[in-house]
């Protein structure tokens, strides 16, 4: 009939994401459908805002074993490979199937080798190259630094592991650590500004990144993106690299943070992805009081009406966390500022499903329309300036 099978809805879902396979009768024609889709080059790896591919959706429900078995046979018959991407629950399609008792005959256990710690063990040549520098050896050798505490050594060891993953990912973009973090996830967490000698740790507990370390973060970011590291990959906890930066870079240099986040977006990061709670990166940025991330997200059209799994909007989540931070004046002010930024962008306290998912041209904003009409009416009755929209919103709260 000429239908566009690649068409996506506003959640980046294909029609196959929405298909209902609840009984045997609904799967009888599935092999024919799959064959037709293969011929038309259907993208079985398309991920929605939850990181779900159509195959995630089809295989995650508690359908009878016979139905799932028939579906898998259809995939295999038509040579459809199971996507190895994770959803926001941190699961691949193969992992979902294994949880339901399937023993896959296809090589979908092979990719799991990417997440083993064995990949982080350096070869003898690499190890000797790293330890040939006596200054570097002094940092990690407790015998040479007797004053260093066990916690300090663990801190250095942790960041050394993160850096190894980053370096390894430059040559193998799909490489991950045991927590499913790729090079970009690890870059968000690693510290490149640690003191060059452990003897300085007590006197310099947490220095601001220097110009050289700032440049190093940007260089690593560019190299990882150029190498093909996926900026939308979920780790095992359901976090994307952008979310990781929102978590770990709050309170750091704002200009550097903005540049790194802009690089991520330019490199293909999808700012609409959700975590396990249904939170977007904008939810996370606002509730953490991360001004730089909030500004970047708003400038790139983040959905200001997005809701969590429990239906909580961005503004109400921000207000909730600002109330929790009432005894921390700085954090309270940071969160409140982010709430104001979203409110000024048109966010409302109680968005509906229509606010969240309707196309912009068809969205109905009753709250704002009522406020606008009220302002027009009052302006005709008096010459006094009307109350700013942002104050009206706070008054409603």
Cα separation, 380 vs 382, whole angstroms:
6
Q: Consecutive sets of 10 residues in the chain, 397 residues long: mean pLDDT of each? A: 85 90 66 89 94 87 73 86 92 86 60 33 35 37 51 75 92 94 95 61 40 75 95 97 95 92 97 97 98 98 96 96 95 97 95 87 53 47 39 37
* C-alpha dihedral, 385 to 391 to 393 to 397, nearest 10°: -130
pLDDT of residue 195: 65
Tokens of 145: 């630094």
Q: pLDDT, tens digit, for every residue of 12-34?
A: 999 999 887 765 556 677 888 88
Burial class (CB within 10 angstroms; exposed 0-12, middle 13-18, buried 19+) of 344: middle
| DSSP 3-state of 305 | coil
Give the model's pLDDT for residue 316. Answer: 96
> For helices 211-227 and 254-266, what crossing angle results, to 10°?
10
Ranges of each domain in the chain: 15-108, 112-268, 271-363, 366-396
What is the distance, to the nearest Å, from the Cα of residue 172 to the centroid of all Cα atoms in its chain? 21
Return the biggest CA–CA distance within the chain. 83
Residues facing residue 307 across a β-bridge? 313
What's the pLDDT tens digit per position in 349-374? Answer: 999 999 999 876 665 554 555 455 44
Alpha carbons 397 and 393: distance in angstroms, whole number: 7
Instruction: State the burial class of residue 346 (Cβ atoms within 10 Å of its Cβ: 0-12, 13-18, 19+).
Output: middle
- What's the pLDDT at 155? 74
The reported pLDDT for the residue numbered 66 is 76
CATH code: domain 271-363 is 1.25.40.20
Q: Is 326 helix (H, G, I), strand (E, B) or coil?
A: coil
Shared fold status for 15-108 and 271-363: yes
Query: Could you tell me if 314 and 274 are in contact, meaning their C-beta atoms sit under 8 angstroms apart?
Result: no
Q: How far apart are CA 137 and CA 145, in angstroms?
A: 10
The fold for domain 15-108 equals 1.25.40
Cβ–Cβ < 8 Å for 346, 304:
yes
Residue 47 CA to residue 13 CA, distance in Å, equals 7
């Amino acid at each position: 009939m000429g239908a566009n099978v690649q068409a996506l809805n506003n959640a980046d879902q294909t029609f196959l994401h929405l298909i209902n396979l609840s009984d045997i009768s609904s799967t009888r024609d599935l092999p024919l459908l799959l064959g037709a889709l293969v011929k038309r080059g259907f993208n079985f790896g398309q991920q929605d805002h939850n990181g779900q591919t159509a195959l995630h959706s089809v295989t995650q429900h508690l359908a009878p074993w016979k139905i799932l078995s028939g579906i898998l046979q259809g995939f295999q018959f038509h040579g459809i490979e199971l996507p190895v991407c994770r959803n926001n629950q941190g699961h691949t399609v193969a992992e979902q199937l294994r949880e339901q008792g399937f023993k896959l005959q296809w090589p979908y256990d092979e990719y799991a080798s990417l997440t083993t710690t064995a990949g982080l063990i350096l070869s003898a040549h690499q190890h000797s190259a790293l330890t040939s520098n006596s200054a570097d050896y002094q940092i990690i050798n407790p015998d040479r630094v007797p004053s260093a505490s066990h916690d300090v050594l663990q801190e250095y060891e942790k960041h050394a592991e993160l850096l190894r993953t980053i370096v390894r990912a430059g040559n193998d973009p799909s490489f991950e650590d045991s927590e499913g973090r790729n090079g970009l996830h690890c870059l968000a967490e690693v510290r490149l500004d640690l003191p060059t000698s452990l003897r300085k740790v007590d006197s310099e507990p947490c220095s601001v990144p220097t110009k050289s370390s700032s440049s190093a973060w940007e260089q690593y970011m560019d190299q990882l993106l150029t190498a093909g590291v996926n900026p939308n990959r979920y780790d095992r906890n359901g976090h994307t690299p952008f979310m990781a930066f929102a978590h770990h870079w709050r309170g750091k240099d704002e200009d550097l943070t903005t540049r790194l986040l802009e690089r991520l977006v330019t490199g293909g990061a999808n700012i609409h992805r959700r975590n396990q709670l249904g939170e977007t990166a904008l939810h996370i940025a606002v509730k953490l009081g991360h001004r730089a991330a909030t500004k970047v997200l708003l400038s790139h059209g983040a959905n200001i009406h997005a809701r969590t799994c429990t239906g909580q909007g961005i503004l109400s989540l921000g207000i909730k966390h600002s109330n929790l931070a009432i005894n921390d004046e700085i954090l309270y002010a940071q969160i409140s500022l982010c709430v104001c930024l979203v409110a000024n962008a048109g966010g409302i306290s109680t968005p509906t499903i229509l606010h969240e998912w309707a196309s912009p041209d068809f969205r109905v904003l009753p709250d704002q329309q009522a406020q606008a009409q009220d302002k027009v009416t009052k302006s005709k009755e008096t010459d006094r300036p009307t109350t700013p929209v942002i104050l009206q919103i706070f008054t409603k709260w």
